[in-house]
Amino acid sequence: MHVDQHFSVVVLTGLSGAGKSTALRVFEDMGFFCVDGLPAAMIPKLASLYRGQSDARFKGLALGMDIRQHDFLKDWEMALAELAGERIGVQVLFFEADQSELLRRYHETRRPHPMECEDLGLEQALEEERRLLEPLRASASLVVDTTQYSIHDLRRTLQEKWSFLRQGQAGLRTHIISFGFKHAAPKEADLMFDLRFLPNPHFEPSLKPLTGKEPDVAAYVLENPIGREFLERFLGFMGYLVPLYAVEGRYRLTIAIGCTGGRHRSVAVAERLFAYLKEKGYAVTLEHRHIDRV
């Protein structure tokens, strides 16, 4: 069935306190018509109405949904089926964060969690919400972990990743993250590789201030017997593996590549993997999560 490629519906959902409302404001700034707290059952009606009357003022619809709606998951499944019947594609962005970070945010804002009640305290409410939303997380187009994000980090990340999501309404989308183990490993990763066995430019005075994007650093990491053999085997393995995930019908694949600080080795290899998958025609994006960390 042909899906309307020129009409964008973005659903923002996820754990309460993980940044959905902030993200919705980012989409508003990017030129989307935004509605928060919309019941899932109303999404197809609004989408059809908007598509019939849309003009150049808006790039599409960005809709915020959360667990407070009655029969949320049941209504969501029905809404998806109805949208498919109307040939309207939907991108789902799921926001999450570590339990400790969500607790900290709620204690700072002093706002109640939507599932808190006499039988559920804040911590239990967060755990129950995470459990209930797991099916939606599994089918999301993109999972964004905001544990370490400031508001500005989240804005920059969404602006970068939205261009990636717009590459296609269907098929596997591969997201590559370089990171440093001393900062934190990405919780959203499906595959994770530890590159701390490769030569480390950190101990070379002329290379230490640079990053893995620089040719001299990449050459130091990869233009040696260990680096060359690793890169050949690694790219060959990913060339074999990624198509298998695509055949399985996965919505997304997140590959995390880590070294100690996330500035040199992981960045150099992530850049090579990005170029390799891009050349093969995959919808792929790249995020250097800790490249600016000291």
Given a contact cutoff of 8 angstroms between Cβ atoms, the answer to whether 144 and 161 are in contact is yes
End-to-end CA distance of the chain: 49
Residues 33, 154: one domain? yes
Is 213 within a domain? yes
Mean pLDDT of the 104-110 span: 85
Same domain, 19 and 158: yes
Q: Is the pLDDT of residue 180 over 60?
A: yes
Q: Does residue 293 lie within any of the structural domains?
A: no
Q: Confidence class of residue 164 from pLDDT cuts 50, 70 and 90?
A: low
Quick one: pLDDT at residue 56? 59
- pLDDT of amino acid 88: 80
Report the CATH number at residue 83: 3.40.50.300
Residue after which a domain boundary falls, among 136, 170, 204: 170
Could you report the per-residue pLDDT of 192-243, keeping only the tens digit for each?
Answer: 999 999 999 999 999 999 999 999 999 999 999 999 999 999 999 999 999 8
236-293 pLDDT, tens digit per residue, is: 999 999 989 887 767 789 999 999 999 999 999 999 999 999 998 888 889 999 998 8
38 with 159, same domain: the answer is yes
Model confidence band, residue 53 (pLDDT cutoffs 50, 70, 90): low
Assigned domain for 294 exists:
no
Structure confidence at residue 168 (pLDDT): 46
Find the domain containing 265 and state its range.
Answer: 176-288
Which residues does the annotation place in the binding site for GTP? 66-69
What is the mean predicted confidence (pLDDT) over 93-103? 91
Q: What percent of the chain has pLDDT over 70?
A: 91
Annotated binding site for ATP: 14-21
Across the chain, what does the average pLDDT equal?
Answer: 86
Last residue of a domain, one of 154, 170, 186: 170
The answer to whether position 163 is within a domain reads yes
Q: Tell me what pLDDT residue 218 has.
A: 97
202 and 80 in a common domain: no
Same-domain status, 117 and 198: no
Do residues 110 and 187 both lie within one domain?
Answer: no
Residue positions forming the annotated binding site: 14-21, 66-69
Highest mean pLDDT among 80-84, 165-169, 186-190: 186-190
Query: Among 114, 142, 170, where does a domain finish?
Result: 170
The per-residue pLDDT for 249 is 62
> Domains in the chain: how many in total?
2
* Statement to judge: residues 149 and 186 lie in one domain: no
Q: Do 184 and 261 fall within a single domain?
A: yes
Q: Are residues 119 and 181 in the same domain?
A: no
- pLDDT-above-90 percentage for the chain: 37
Residues 139, 184 share a domain: no
Would you say residue 177 has pLDDT above 80?
A: yes
